[in-house]
A and B are shown apart, each in its own frame.
Chain A
Amino acid sequence: MRGIGFNSLTMSLGFLILIGIYGMVADTATTSYLHAMVELMILAYSLNLFTGLSGYANFGHVVFYGLGAYTVSVSAVGLSSMGMSLPTPVYVLGAGVFAAIFALVIGFPILRLRGDYFAIATLGINEAVRVTICNTKELGEGRGIYILGLVPSYDIKMLYIQLLLVAFAVVVTTHIVLKTKLGYGLRAIRADEDVAEIMGVNTSKYKIMAYALGAFFAGLAGGVVTLQFACSFPEYLFIGRSVDMFSAIIIGGIGTLLGPLIGSVIFWIVKDALLIQFPYFHLIIFGVALIVLILFFPRGIVGLANRVLAKRGKVLE
């Protein structure tokens, strides 16, 4: 095996440590800026675990982020009515677990579909969940659920630490998955699903596992955002967020370890700068840039780097 893998992992974890320390020492505005970037990074990694590796276009991945968010607020309200409350990490973990369970339940039916049918089904599910939330009294309908006071008051540094831990977890998980049967099985499914089945890969089981794993980390990110705003509302399930995650992994390099990291950093910096400079035109410029980038680097930055590095026998994972 070529000397690869190892340094991609150290690079990503090293980068996380770097922005972690910088975020903690700098002023809270920078912490909040990095917090938003790391949140997008986690979502990109969670999408990469499923779509990146298996090639199944999941356009409704934000539904797990939303469900994670609602798990925290619903459980916070529920527990407080019984006079109890949990430490925040338990809430966040609960958010991830619920999202993963939901993925397992919904995964069986829709993972029997392929390609474009699957993409549309995920869109449908995201909308169906959002509409159902909007119409259920207990879930706060359109107004959302407010838990100000039920969870520790807003402290961006603490939230940032929790988010970094989740980011560490998702990066290490991606590395492990890429090195084990799950990773090879998923990449085989992406290349040619029927042949993968014939080569011994239990395709239906592996797709579900990846789907639930991705959902778990998206749920964790959702849990943290509810703690940040002390409320959760249907806008968390806005389809635009799925597009952001998607752009991040396409820009960075789909199905790789470094791809989601590079992609989300570039995506966030460019989008934020454009948003502040051109309040009205930012999406036009961003749209044009996205298209040119996709046509030029369909394999993303890591893909490009690999083409360059391949001559020297090294490949970025």
Chain B
Amino acid sequence: MAASKEDDTISITVEFSGGLEMLFSNERKLPLSIPAKDDTGARTNVAYLVNYLCENAMKDPKKELFVLDGTVRPGILVLINDADWELEGEEKYEVQEGDNILFVSTLHGG
């Protein structure tokens, strides 16, 4: 609704489910302020966010449980504002002020 407080950051909410929260100090919900643009001046997309989370929010050293080959590892679903990120352009989706981005690890128990 309102413009972001500072033009150079955007405020979003990142959430983790299905066990991924254990990689992020058991936080299921993370309010975040991230740069609005990356180093090249391009607008921040989900690929940037994933890398940002890995470097700034993830406490667990086992990065490969979240990122593999430069992208979110297989078995993790990314949901942007309650929809499969495939519907939004996957990694290239440009993050908007107020977005909710949920990372869900697929479960296998039964």
Partners in one complex: no
Chain B residues packing against A (C-beta within 8 Å): none
Chain A residues packing against B (C-beta within 8 Å): none
